[in-house]
């Protein structure tokens, strides 16, 4: 009986010790496990999200999802213990960065990173990346779709115009601009570009005519398609002086950012030039007024949708999570922007 009791005590002791070790080991592992937050108020398509999950599982990372959220408070709560964040146009402010003590990297799945406070991120040693090129065809197709829509009187039965033989100006010849040029050529348009940051021969190799000044672009083209980023230099830079240079019957296409167009200047143009049209992927702040006063000459998407295709979602999602894995596993900072 004594030996039986001794045996029982010993095995219980070993059992408890074993379970405690497993418990602490799991805790250590969990603590070591990278947590990635996918924070998208405009979610990626389900297939793209599954891809992120798959890559996280393979890397041994935990994926936390915050999709279709409605307040910055929800985002602030969600970042508190994560190491990486994937966003789209979601605002990553200083307040959000300060609320994330473990944060090492923010990846904007897409091109423009004006939604991320890069200075606050740098101060905290947080790397910010974008995923350039992944959604540029989607945005370019929308720009040209808007060109057709405006030319054809917003798809009303009234007589419209054609793109064939018209001149289109690409304002900034990056990934989207390049795709717009390719598609516009298919419509038989003559394509011009202005971009002081891209070498002339690179643009000309695409069969695109380079203009030396931004004024020349607006003077020359019936259509101008905006592809400049939104920053301190470019905000409100598309003003009435520039727009006013455009020839009769001109249309300005904006799939960049609403902030780059000066809204007062735009209103002035629409008032003073009854031939002028404006289409934008996301409404300006004075959209209600413009829609009412200039119906048929303005068009705004209700929510930014340039990159909202299955293909672009797949590309952006896969690029974002792959960049995060490469950053943690290999220290790769190829697409760092801060």
| Binding residues for ligand 3PG restricted to 261-280, rule: CB under 6 A | none
Verify binding: residue 220, ligand 3PG, rule CB under 6 A.
no
Binding ligand 3PG by CB under 6 A: which of 34, 63, 66, 89? 89
Least spacing, CB of residue 304 vs ligand 3PG, in Å: 5
Return the number of the residue (135 or 137) whose C-beta is nearest ligand 3PG: 135
Burial of 39 (0-12, 13-18, 19+ CB in 10 A): buried
- Rule CB under 6 A: is residue 179 a binding residue for ligand 3PG? no
- For ligand 3PG, the closer CB: 128 or 211: 128
Q: Which is nearer to ligand 3PG, 135 or 237 (CB)?
A: 135
One-character DSSP codes across 199-267: -HHHHHTTT-EE-SSHHHHHHH-SEEEE----STTTTT-B-HHHHTTSPTT-EEEE-S-GGGB-HHHHH
Q: Does residue 142 belong to the site contacting ligand 3PG (CB under 6 A)?
A: no
Burial class (CB in 10 A: 0-12, 13-18, 19+), 134: buried
Nearer to ligand 3PG, 105 or 211 (CB): 105
Residue 222 binds to ligand 3PG (criterion: CB under 6 A): no
Selection from 220, 286, 78 nearest residue 92 by Cα: 78
User: What is the closest distance, in whole angstroms, from the C-beta atom of residue 113 to ligand 3PG in the complex?
Assistant: 8
Is residue 323 a contact point for ligand 3PG (CB under 6 A)? Answer: no
Which one among 304, 314, 323, 327 touches ligand 3PG, defined by CB under 6 A? 304
Query: Cα 154 from chain centroid?
Result: 26
Q: Least separation, in Å, of the C-beta of 13 and ligand 3PG?
A: 57
| Shortest distance, position 253 Cβ to ligand 3PG, whole Å | 14
Count the Cβ atoms, other than its own, within 10 Å of residue 291.
Answer: 15
Rounded to the nearest whole angstrom, what is the least distance from the CB of residue 115 to ligand 3PG in the complex?
A: 8
Q: How far apart are CA 214 and CA 243, in angstroms?
A: 11
Which one among 141, 144, 306, 314 touches ligand 3PG, defined by CB under 6 A?
306
Residues 6+ apart with CB under 8 A from 140: 176, 177, 178, 179, 180, 182, 183, 255
Query: Rule CB under 6 A: is residue 43 a binding residue for ligand 3PG?
Result: no
Choose, by CB under 6 A, the member of 84, 260, 279, 307 that binds ligand 3PG: 307
Of 12-20, 29-37, 184-192, 299-307, which part binds ligand 3PG (CB under 6 A)?
299-307
Contact between 96 and 76 under an 8 Å Cβ cutoff? The reply is yes
Q: How far apart are CA 3 and CA 9, in angstroms?
A: 10
Distance CA 231, CA 79 (A): 26
Q: Which residue is nearest to ligand 3PG (CB)?
A: 110
**HSE-up of 287 (CA within 13 Å, CB side)?**
14
Nearer of residues 145 and 160 to ligand 3PG, judged by Cβ: 145
Pick one of 34, 84, 107, 112: the residue that binds ligand 3PG (CB under 6 A): 112
Please work out the total of residues on this chain that contact ligand 3PG, with binding judged by CB under 6 A.
11
225 binds ligand 3PG (CB under 6 A): no
Question: Who contacts 296 (Cβ-Cβ below 8 Å, separation ≥6)?
Answer: 153, 154, 156
DSSP letter, residue 154: G
The contact set with ligand 3PG (CB under 6 A) reads 42, 88-89, 110-112, 135, 304, 306-308
């Amino acid at each position: 009986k004594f030996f039986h009791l001794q045996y029982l005590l010993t095995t219980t002791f070993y059992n408890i010790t074993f379970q405690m070790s497993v418990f602490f080991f799991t805790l250590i592992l969990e603590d070591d496990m990278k947590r990635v937050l996918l924070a998208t108020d405009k979610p990626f398509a389900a297939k793209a999200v599954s891809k992120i999950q798959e890559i996280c599982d393979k890397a041994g990372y935990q994926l936390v999802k915050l999709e279709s959220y409605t307040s910055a408070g929800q985002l602030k709560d969600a970042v508190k213990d994560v190491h990486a964040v994937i966003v789209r146009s979601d605002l990553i402010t200083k307040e959000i960065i300060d609320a994330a003590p473990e944060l090492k990297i923010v990846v904007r799945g897409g091109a423009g990173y004006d939604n991320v406070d890069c200075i606050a991120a740098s101060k905290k040693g947080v790397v910010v990346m974008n995923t350039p090129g992944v959604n540029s065809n989607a945005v370019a197709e929308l720009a040209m779709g808007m060109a057709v829509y405006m030319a054809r009187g917003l798809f009303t039965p009234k007589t419209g115009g054609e793109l064939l033989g018209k001149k289109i100006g690409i304002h900034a010849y990056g990934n989207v601009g390049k795709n717009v040029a390719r598609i516009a050529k298919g419509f038989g348009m003559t394509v011009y570009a202005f971009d002081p940051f891209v070498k002339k021969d690179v643009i000309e190799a695409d069969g695109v005519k380079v203009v030396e000044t931004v004024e020349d672009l607006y003077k020359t083209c019936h259509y101008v398609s905006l592809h400049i980023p939104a920053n301190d230099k470019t905000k409100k830079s598309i003003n009435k002086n520039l727009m006013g240079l455009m020839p009769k019957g001109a249309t300005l296409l904006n799939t960049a950012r609403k902030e780059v167009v000066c809204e007062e200047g735009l209103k002035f143009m629409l008032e003073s030039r009854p031939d002028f049209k404006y289409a934008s992927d996301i409404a300006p702040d004075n959209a209600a007024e413009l829609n009412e006063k200039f119906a048929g000459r303005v068009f705004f998407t209700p929510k930014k949708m340039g990159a909202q295709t299955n293909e672009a979602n797949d590309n952006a999602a896969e690029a974002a999570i792959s960049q995060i894995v490469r950053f943690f596993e290999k220290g790769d900072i190829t697409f760092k922007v801060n």
